[in-house]
């Protein structure tokens, strides 16, 4: 019990007034000679015992009045936790479990976690001197608390240093750990003090309640004190950004993306005109407003056109509410750069659709493509300064000269991309001789699966059989999209030699024909990449160029060969989980920096990947490579678990039923909540005593 105006308690000394009056009242009664004295005597005798009781009652009532009034003025507040401590038979070993989940960051002025710390401090204060105690700050990965002891300063320091996390808290697990720790205390009494906002996501009510070993070894329920830091609030309203999808919006430009995000309203009131922004740094790139019904979900899409390519880190934000942390979702986005491609046309033709480069040019320069293609015939094209281009495509080109081959090799080694497609003009031996160092595999000879003009050409023509869809190049061609790929007919194609294990870097066959012959082979050469397509990109050897998959595949070839197409798996990091980074062979990872600037633990794996984390906060994590240089391509964003945004609270009666009505001794909350109005009861008691006193006096 605490007092708002403790000085008024001095007034309780007034309770001695009736006693003093009784002891020192020396008023002389008026003498009165009276005839019928016998009747007075008899009456006095008859009423003596009743009068004695009445006087005693009057004394008690007057004392009560004089005690109740100063107590009421002192504004007593009933602290149920103290009551709980006193109702325990004897001292009890106590474990204070402080909820440090994301929901405790909810704030309407004072964060719930601050109130929780105050509650934990109060719980420590309320302990009896002979009660050992411990503190467990409950997170998603709780560790057993220290053995219960009497070092209150250490426990207070634990509470002072506690910080709320961005993840959920497994209170059920924490209670179990605390119960196990309490068993180390020889005291018979065990008490668990839970300081939490009692959100449903923190409890696993389907699991059994915590128990401790009783004196006989049988499990018994410990006393549970619930300190609900949010009990003054009817509900913890919250809206959150629970999902974000970023997809290219090619119709809006080569570097346009559509941000589709989902906003959920966990509160009981609808949210109107909620502002949503797409921001990169301090710049706002797109802005919109959403209405979310109570308890409902709304999806909104915003399109952003990025001015330049590269890895972009930013965030989608909502107008913040009491829990601002879940109103923001970070993203890391590889925006394609503008690519310049030199298309070397080995078989130009006056009729456009018969031109070797016609379909490739159309595919690369289609709307939304970041590629700017320059088409040259072989003679001119091979003399160009390749350094002005990101990508060179040799389409059915006769083998370049030695000089041209050296230029091409230097170009690729320096990071350029080289695409080579076959055709009638390709001389395998000349290619092997001059470009052998660049080719993923040596060319062998041309195989004809069907003559183009024969009537059964369509049935005899081969098709693509095995496509490595796990490779970024073919990653989009899954499901129905695969049809456009495997439906293409190949009448003729170049066979390749087996891979030379001794060759540096080695090659990779990403697609094969039905006979197992490679259709697409790729290899890394220096800093660049080379792709070999063993058929033609016009309609001479196949009808692939008129298939729906041709255009996107050519664009992905361009992106892949220039390094724009990220080969990394999309990293979906969630707070509380570890993240696996898979750098390229050329990339090195030396550190990962969290949004708050701290470095995360990094663990190298045998498969040259790295395990980072677990990540502890949402936002963009920066990856540093050799010499602490940023590797933006490996940057990733961590997001919150949407389940933690649901602040639905468990009703007190449910918790009482869960822990057991006989063990839940008290339920208290924050100090903002008006305490049990004890003073009104005291005033009522005083009034009642006053009334009874008057009634007794009249009798």
Binding site for another protein (CB under 8 A): 27-44, 46-47, 51, 54
Residue 43 vs 401, nearer CB to another protein: 43
Residue 35 vs 501, nearer CB to another protein: 35
Q: Which residues of 33-45 are buried (b: 16+ CB within 10 A; e: fewer)?
A: eeeeeeeeeeeee
Q: How far, in Å, CA of 67 to CA of 462, rounded?
A: 104
Residue 30 vs 89, nearer CB to another protein: 30
Please report how close the Cβ of residue 91 comes to another protein at its closest, in angstroms. Answer: 51
Please report how close the Cβ of residue 60 comes to another protein at its closest, in angstroms. Answer: 17
- Contact, 449 vs 422, CB < 8 A? no
- Contact, 257 vs 636, CB < 8 A? no
If DSSP codes are grouped into helix, strand and coil, which group holds residue 94?
Answer: strand
- Contact, 100 vs 169, CB < 8 A? yes
Q: How far, in Å, CA of 588 to CA of 578, rounded?
A: 19
Q: Cα 593 to chain center, whole Å?
A: 17
Please report how close the Cβ of residue 16 comes to another protein at its closest, in angstroms. Answer: 22
CA torsion angle 501 507 509 510 (round to 10): 150
Please report how close the Cβ of residue 55 comes to another protein at its closest, in angstroms. Answer: 9
Residue 27 vs 89, nearer CB to another protein: 27
Please report how close the Cβ of residue 66 comes to another protein at its closest, in angstroms. Answer: 22
Residue 42 vs 287, nearer CB to another protein: 42
DSSP 8-state secondary structure symbol assigned to residue 534: S
Residue 29 vs 217, nearer CB to another protein: 29
Please report how close the Cβ of residue 56 comes to another protein at its closest, in angstroms. Answer: 13
In which residue are the tokens 């018994």 written? Answer: 220
Please report how close the Cβ of residue 25 comes to another protein at its closest, in angstroms. Answer: 10
Residue 38 vs 388, nearer CB to another protein: 38
Q: How far, in Å, CA of 9 to CA of 14, rounded?
A: 10
Helix (H) or strand (E) holding 135: strand 133-138
If DSSP codes are grouped into helix, strand and coil, which group holds residue 89?
Answer: coil
User: What Cα–Cα distance (Å) separates residue 525 from each residue in 405, 411, 634?
Assistant: 14, 10, 22
Please report how close the Cβ of residue 21 comes to another protein at its closest, in angstroms. Answer: 13
Backbone angles phi, psi at 395, to 5 degrees: -105, 105
Residue 47 vs 401, nearer CB to another protein: 47
Residue 44 vs 433, nearer CB to another protein: 44
Q: What DSSP string describes 457-518? A: HHHHSB-EEEE-TTSTTTTT--TTHHHHHHT--BSEEEEEPPP-TTSSS-EEEEEEETTS-E
Please report how close the Cβ of residue 22 comes to another protein at its closest, in angstroms. Answer: 13
């Amino acid at each position: 019990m605490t007092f708002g105006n403790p000085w008024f308690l001095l007034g309780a000394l007034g309770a001695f007034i009736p006693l003093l009056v009784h002891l020192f009242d020396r008023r002389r009664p008026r003498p009165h000679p009276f005839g019928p004295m016998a009747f007075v005597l008899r009456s006095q005798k008859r009423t003596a015992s009743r009068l004695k009781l009445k006087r005693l009652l009057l004394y008690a009532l007057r004392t009560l009045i004089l005690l109740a009034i100063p107590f009421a003025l002192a504004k007593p507040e009933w602290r149920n936790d103290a009551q709980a401590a006193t109702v325990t038979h004897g001292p009890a070993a106590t474990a204070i479990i402080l909820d440090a989940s994301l929901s405790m960051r909810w704030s309407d002025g004072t964060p719930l976690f601050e109130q929780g710390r105050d509650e934990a401090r109060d719980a420590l204060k309320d302990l009896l001197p002979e009660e050992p105690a411990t503190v467990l700050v409950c997170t998603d990965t709780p560790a057993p608390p220290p053995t219960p002891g009497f070092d209150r300063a250490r426990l207070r320091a634990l509470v002072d240093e506690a910080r709320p996390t961005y993840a959920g808290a497994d209170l059920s697990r924490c209670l179990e750990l605390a119960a196990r720790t309490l068993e180390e205390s020889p005291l018979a009494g065990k008490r668990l003090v839970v300081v939490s906002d009692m959100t449903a996501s923190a409890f696993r009510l389907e699991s059994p309640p915590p128990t401790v070993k009783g004196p006989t070894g049988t499990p018994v329920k410990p006393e549970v004190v619930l300190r609900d830091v949010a009990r003054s609030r009817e509900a913890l309203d919250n809206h959150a950004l629970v999902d974000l999808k970023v997809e290219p919006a090619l119709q809006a430009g080569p570097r346009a993306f559509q941000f589709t995000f989902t906003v959920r309203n966990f509160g009981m009131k609808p949210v109107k005109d909620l502002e949503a922004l797409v921001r990169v740094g301090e710049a706002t790139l797109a802005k919109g407003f959403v209405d979310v019904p109570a308890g409902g979900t709304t999806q909104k899409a915003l399109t952003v056109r990025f001015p330049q390519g590269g890895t972009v880190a930013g965030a989608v934000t909502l107008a913040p509410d009491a829990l601002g942390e879940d109103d923001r979702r970070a993203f890391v986005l590889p925006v394609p750069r503008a690519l310049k491609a030199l298309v070397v046309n080995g078989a130009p033709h006056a009729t456009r659709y018969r031109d070797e480069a016609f379909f490739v040019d159309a595919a690369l320069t289609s709307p939304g493509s970041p590629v700017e293609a320059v088409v040259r015939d072989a003679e001119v094209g091979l003399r160009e300064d390749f350094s002005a281009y990101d990508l060179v495509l040799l389409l059915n080109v006769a083998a370049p000269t030695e000089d041209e081959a050296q230029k091409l090799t230097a170009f690729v080694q320096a990071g350029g991309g080289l695409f080579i497609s076959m055709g009638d003009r390709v001389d395998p031996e000349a290619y092997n001789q001059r470009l052998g160092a660049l080719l993923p595999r040596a060319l062998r000879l041309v195989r004809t699966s069907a003559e183009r003009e024969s009537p059964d050409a369509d049935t005899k023509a081969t098709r693509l059989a095995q496509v490595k869809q796990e490779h970024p190049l073919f990653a989009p061609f899954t499901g129905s999209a695969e049809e456009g790929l495997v439906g293409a007919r190949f009448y003729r194609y170049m066979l390749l030699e087996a891979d030379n294990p001794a060759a540096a870097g080695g090659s990779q066959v990403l697609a094969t024909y039905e006979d197992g012959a490679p259709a697409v082979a790729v290899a890394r050469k220096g800093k660049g990449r080379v792709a070999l397509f063993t058929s033609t990109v016009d309609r001479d050897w196949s009808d692939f160029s008129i298939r729906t998959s041709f255009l996107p595949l050519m664009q992905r070839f361009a992106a892949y060969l220039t390094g724009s197409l990220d080969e990394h798996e999309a990293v979906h990091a969630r707070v509380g989980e570890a993240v696996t980074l898979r750098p390229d062979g050329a990339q090195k990872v030396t550190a990962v920096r969290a949004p708050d600037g701290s470095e995360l633990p990094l663990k190298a794996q045998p498969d040259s990947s790295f395990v980072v984390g677990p990540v502890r906060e949402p936002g963009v994590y920066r990856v540093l490579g050799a010499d602490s240089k940023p590797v933006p391509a490996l940057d990733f964003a961590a997001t919150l678990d949407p389940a933690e945004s649901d602040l639905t609270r468990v009703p007190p009666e449910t918790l009482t039923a869960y822990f057991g009505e006989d063990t839940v001794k008290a339920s208290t909350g924050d100090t903002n909540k008006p305490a049990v109005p004890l003073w009104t009861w005291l005033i009522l008691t005083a009034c009642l005593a006053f009334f009874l006193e008057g009634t007794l006096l009249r009798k």
